[in-house]
């Protein structure tokens, strides 16, 4: 199966393209009325820059991003669980996507530890 947005090949039975984050069954030309765009940006850092962060939304792995990477998804308004997973740690957070917003921006970054690195949510910003 191939993504209708970016054309990359992807496995059967997944909900989002692991390359661009577009929902399976959605076309870039489809109307996304009733959805909110969730944009996740991993802040650029020198340490841990080669290690990717896996992103799960509502229990489903959707993509992974590296340092300074961006992923975006069209989701229904409401509360969604985001899980950011690295080899050394996992960060879980619930995020509210208000119906009156066009987009919600989440910035994540690495928190350096003595032995391990952890992903932390740095900011969440709503755009009307």
- Which structural domain, as residue segments, surrounds residue 1? 1-30
Task: Indicate the pLDDT class of residue 59, thresholds 50, 70 and 90.
Answer: very high
Asked if residue 108 and residue 69 are part of one domain, the reply reads: yes
pLDDT value for 63: 92
Per-residue pLDDT at 5 exceeds 50 = yes
Asked if residue 45 and residue 26 are part of one domain, the reply reads: no
Per-residue pLDDT at 26 exceeds 60 = no
Give the mean pLDDT of the chain. 82
Asked if residue 120 and residue 87 are part of one domain, the reply reads: yes
Asked if residue 53 and residue 95 are part of one domain, the reply reads: yes
pLDDT value for 97: 95
Task: Indicate the pLDDT class of residue 45, thresholds 50, 70 and 90.
Answer: confident
Per-residue pLDDT at 9 exceeds 90 = no
Asked if residue 45 and residue 21 are part of one domain, the reply reads: no
Asked if residue 121 and residue 65 are part of one domain, the reply reads: yes
Asked if residue 70 and residue 46 are part of one domain, the reply reads: yes
Asked if residue 50 and residue 10 are part of one domain, the reply reads: no
Asked if residue 47 and residue 105 are part of one domain, the reply reads: yes
Per-residue pLDDT at 114 exceeds 60 = yes
Task: Indicate the pLDDT class of residue 34, thresholds 50, 70 and 90.
Answer: confident
Count CA atoms within 13 Å of residue 84 on its CB side.
Answer: 25
Which CATH number characterizes residue 54's domain? 2.60.40.1120
Number of structural domains found in the chain: 2
Asked if residue 104 and residue 47 are part of one domain, the reply reads: yes
pLDDT value for 128: 80
For 88-103, what is the mean pLDDT? Answer: 91
Asked if residue 50 and residue 26 are part of one domain, the reply reads: no
Asked if residue 43 and residue 14 are part of one domain, the reply reads: no
């Amino acid at each position: 199966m191939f993504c209708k947005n970016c054309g990359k090949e992807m496995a059967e039975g997944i909900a989002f393209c692991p390359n661009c984050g577009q929902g399976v069954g959605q076309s870039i030309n489809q109307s996304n009325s009733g959805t909110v765009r969730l944009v996740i940006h991993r802040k650029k850092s020198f340490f841990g820059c080669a290690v990717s962060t896996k992103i799960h939304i509502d229990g489903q792995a959707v993509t992974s991003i590296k340092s300074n990477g961006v992923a975006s998804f069209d989701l229904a308004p409401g509360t969604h669980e985001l899980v950011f997973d690295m080899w050394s740690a996992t960060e879980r957070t619930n995020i509210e996507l208000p119906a009156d917003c066009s987009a919600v921006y989440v910035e994540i970054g690495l928190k350096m530890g003595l032995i391990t690195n952890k992903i932390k949510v740095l900011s969440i910003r709503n755009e009307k």
